[in-house]
Amino acid sequence: MISALTNSRPQNMFAAFPSYFAPTNSLDAVRLLEQFNERAVILAGGTLTMPEINLGSSGREAVISLDRLGLDQIIIDDRTVRLGAMVRLVELASARALIPLHKAVASIGGPAIRNMATVGGNICARHPYGDLATLLLALDAQLTFSTTRGTEVVDLAAFYAAEDRPRRGRLILSVQFQLPASQEIVFRKLGRRCVNTPSIVTVAARVTRNSAGVVDRACVALGGVGDNPVRSYAAEEALTGKNLDDENIESAAQKAATGIAPLTDSYASAWYRSRVIPIQVRRALSELQAVAA
């Protein structure tokens, strides 16, 4: 029998493996998260948690599995899409209604990783992961949390901007967004490899234009440049109310990195990222430009 909820510390604090919990409802899950806080780690897809457990030196006391919470639903109602936190990336790839997400999903890992990794994991993962999250950020997605005080809805942008992450006792249940038309979005990832590569710079953008071809709304998100994906408000401002032409695209591209201090890691330096952000933004927006409004 899997030992369920307990208020005391697990008996063998330095046991070979942390204690394993698989709560069956989200209230139990958030109570466990509140109780253990940083001494626990969430097990979603396993792609980030299991390496820690395998090495055996994480110092965690508890692993909280989300397997039995029923978070694996894809619900599409008209154009509103709600993805459960435990939906695997492969299920997005095989959902015909979610074609606008397919390029982003295909850019993540290899087939086995896509079979295991989850939407929630991709949202919470730190750099260099989070390519789907970058697209969701450009789609103005919202997160629904379960907390000890009930459910909470938070804009993904606010989630990433908040300084107090991770927060105690809070679990992502689902992410929600309006499904865009394919011709409104673009996703472009620059890595060191063509296939199965971490990101150096990921650009995701959603640009809607009126019948005159003028941009009425632009949402531009950059991944790979910081701990989490960020919105490029400067690029958005440079596009809004303008035609999507070469000059405006170039202006938006040049401004895209404003206020963003990219990081240096083993893939690329901050210098390089700063250099290619405008290039990648320009190339992404040019892709959109080539599609009829």
Q: Which is nearer to other proteins, 90 or 154 (CB)?
A: 90
Q: Which is nearer to other proteins, 118 or 142 (CB)?
A: 118
In whole angstroms, how close is the CB of 211 to other proteins at the nearest point?
A: 31
* Sign, CA torsion 284/158/171/141: negative
In whole angstroms, how close is the CB of 87 to other proteins at the nearest point?
A: 14
In whole angstroms, how close is the CB of 131 to other proteins at the nearest point?
A: 13
Residue with tokens 């320009």: 282
67: left (phi over 0), alpha (psi -120 to 50) or beta: alpha
Residue 189's beta-bridge partner residues?
202
In whole angstroms, how close is the CB of 286 to other proteins at the nearest point?
A: 10
Residue 173 · residue 253 · CB < 8 Å: no
Q: Which is nearer to other proteins, 180 or 191 (CB)?
A: 191
Residue 158 · residue 167 · CB < 8 Å: no
**Burial category of 149 from C-beta neighbours within 10 Å (exposed 0-12, middle 13-18, buried 19 and up):** exposed
**Residue 232, both tokens:** 């490029």
Q: Which is nearer to other proteins, 31 or 283 (CB)?
A: 283
In whole angstroms, how close is the CB of 45 to other proteins at the nearest point?
A: 8
Q: Which is nearer to other proteins, 110 or 150 (CB)?
A: 110
Which positions ≥6 away from 286 have C-beta within 8 Å? 246, 249
Q: Which is nearer to other proteins, 47 or 176 (CB)?
A: 47
In whole angstroms, how close is the CB of 273 to other proteins at the nearest point?
A: 10
Q: What is the 3-state secondary structure (H, E, C) of 189-224?
A: EECCCCCCCCCCEEEEEEEEECCCCEEEEEEEEEEC
Q: Hey, is 146 helix, strand or coil? A: strand
In whole angstroms, how close is the CB of 7 to other proteins at the nearest point?
A: 17
Q: Which is nearer to other proteins, 14 or 77 (CB)?
A: 14
> Using CB under 8 A as the criterion, which residues of the chain lie in contact with other proteins when the complex forms?
1-3, 10-12, 14-20, 22, 43, 45-47, 50-51, 53-57, 59, 63, 65, 67, 90, 106, 109-113, 115-116, 128, 190, 192-198, 264-269, 271-272, 275-276, 279-280, 283
Q: Which is nearer to other proteins, 56 or 213 (CB)?
A: 56
In whole angstroms, how close is the CB of 112 to other proteins at the nearest point?
A: 5
Residue 144 · residue 174 · CB < 8 Å: yes
Task: Note every long-range contact of 240-247, with CB atoms under 8 Å and residues 24 or more positions apart, other chains counting.
Answer: 240/215, 240/216, 241/214, 241/215, 241/216, 242/214, 242/215, 243/213, 243/214, 243/215, 244/207, 244/209, 244/213, 244/215, 244/285, 244/288, 244/289, 244/293, 245/289, 246/286, 246/289
